[in-house]
């Protein structure tokens, strides 16, 4: 895949004149306007007693054997209702392609049953969901698309598994390949505003979970959250990951979490044909943290645009991101 030039919808991408710079591109994606699609929900029961909610878009109602299915992983504080997710599902709908979004634990509007939640390296959940979908649809080829945090999860999972059977192609978008660098970036300059937004959302979700556990009498899981101690005064994502994410998910501290869950050192282990879509002006992903194309395996290609922001890529003709993803996955 790296052997020659490949034209895509993002080749020679130019940002719309009224959306210059990575910040405006990123904010346009977040705050719309956007499309809404008719999603059908499915709840998967996990082996540990928890649950994950899926959101399906089926153009033809029933899924025929041999029909491709695109599995989508959202980003930090995202969900199946995020505008970028629905934009991709809508585009795939116009192509007659079925898609399903995996809401990470606690991201579908209802706190999950366990103290643990999701994080940038939660590949076990991705693997379990994929296995259950393969059991449900053994005769259908799968493709994957992952955004930001979900893209890091996707790439790490592909590297760890060497390419799951039944998964044919994958695309990642705006991935924080080096979690430590990206976490630090969220505490600097204008990018601090994004960090504060994410931190506020994560704190709200944690408070809602503690409240639910208290009301439902889930004492064992509530005790795990209480063991984190008082969490007042957390002022950055790094601190949140150090005091919440890491201890809840078996890491020594934030530095250990970032080192063990960053996808950057693992990219050479990926065997699945994979497209990495990134922008050089992404305010959440420093250019220094991007992979070197020369060090990628032949089956992995980096599509790096000069502009586009974080999950933006709006040109004068609208968003070109969905077309680029779909062209690679389902042609």
Interior/surface letters 240-250, b for 16+ CB within 10 angstroms, e for the rest: bbbbbbbbbbe
Torsion of CA 96, 299, 26, 201, to 10 degrees: 90
Mean pLDDT of 18-40: 95
pTM: predicted TM-score of the whole model, two decimal places? 0.96
Mean pLDDT of 186-206: 95
With contact defined as beta carbons under 8 Å apart, do 288 and 295 qualify?
A: no
Name the H helices within the chain: 21-31, 83-94, 123-136, 149-161, 179-185, 192-216, 219-226, 237-240, 246-248, 254-261, 321-330
Mean pLDDT of 166-180: 98
C-alpha 85/C-alpha 32 separation (Å) is 12
Region of poorest pLDDT, from 6-10, 15-19, 147-151, 251-255: 6-10
The tens digit of pLDDT for each residue in 206-233 reads 999 999 999 989 999 999 999 998 888 8
Which residues are part of the catalytic machinery? 148, 282, 310
Mean pLDDT of 301-307: 97
Region of poorest pLDDT, from 28-37, 123-132, 254-263, 293-302: 28-37
Place of tokens 């003709």: 317
H or E stretch at 225: helix 219-226
Q: What angle do CA 316, 319, 325 make, to 5 degrees?
A: 140
pLDDT at 4: 46
Asked if pLDDT for residue 136 goes beyond 70, the answer is yes
The tens digit of pLDDT for each residue in 86-130 reads 999 999 999 999 999 999 999 999 999 999 999 999 999 999 999
Residue 146, helix vs strand vs coil? strand
What would the two tokens of residue 35 be? 């499309």
The tens digit of pLDDT for each residue in 45-86 reads 999 999 999 999 999 888 999 999 999 999 999 999 999 999
Asked if pLDDT for residue 7 goes beyond 80, the answer is no
Place of tokens 């501290």: 253
C-alpha 177/C-alpha 275 separation (Å) is 14
Residue 45, helix vs strand vs coil? strand
Average pLDDT of the chain is 95
C-alpha 81/C-alpha 101 separation (Å) is 9
C-alpha 108/C-alpha 103 separation (Å) is 6
Asked if pLDDT for residue 187 goes beyond 50, the answer is yes
Domains of the chain, first to last: 21-182+263-330 (3.40.50.1820)
């Amino acid at each position: 895949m790296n052997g020659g030039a490949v034209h895509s919808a993002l080749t020679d991408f130019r940002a719309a004149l009224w959306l210059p710079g990575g910040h405006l591109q990123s904010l346009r994606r977040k705050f719309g306007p956007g499309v809404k699609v008719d999603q059908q929900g499915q709840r998967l029961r996990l082996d540990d007693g928890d649950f994950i909610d899926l959101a399906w878009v089926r153009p033809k109602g029933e899924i025929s054997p041999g029909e491709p299915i695109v599995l989508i992983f959202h980003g930090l504080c995202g969900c199946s209702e995020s505008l970028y997710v629905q934009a991709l599902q809508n585009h795939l709908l116009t192509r007659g392609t079925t898609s399903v979004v995996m809401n990470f634990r606690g991201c579908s509007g209802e706190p999950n049953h366990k103290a643990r939640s999701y994080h940038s390296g939660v590949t076990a959940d991705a693997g379990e969901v994929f296995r259950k979908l393969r059991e449900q649809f053994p005769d259908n080829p799968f493709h994957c698309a992952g955004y930001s945090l979900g893209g890091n999860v996707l790439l790490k999972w592909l590297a760890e598994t060497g390419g799951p059977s039944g998964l044919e192609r994958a695309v990642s978008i705006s991935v924080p390949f080096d979690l430590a660098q990206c976490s630090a970036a969220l505490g600097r300059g204008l990018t601090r505003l994004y960090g504060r937004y994410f931190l506020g959302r994560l704190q709200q979700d944690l408070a809602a979970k503690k409240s639910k556990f208290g009301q439902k009498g889930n004492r064992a899981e509530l005790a795990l959250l209480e063991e984190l101690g008082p969490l007042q005064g957390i002022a950055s994502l790094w601190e949140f990951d150090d005091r919440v994410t890491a201890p809840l998910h078996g890491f020594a501290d934030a530095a250990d979490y970032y080192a063990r869950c960053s996808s950057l050192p693992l990219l050479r282990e990926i065997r699945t044909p994979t497209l990495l879509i990134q922008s050089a002006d992404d305010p959440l992903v420093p250019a220094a943290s991007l992979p070197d194309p020369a060090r990628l395996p032949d089956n992995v290609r980096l599509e790096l645009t000069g502009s586009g922001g974080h999950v933006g890529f709006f040109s004068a003709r609208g968003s070109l991101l969905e077309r680029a993803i779909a062209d690679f996955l389902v042609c």
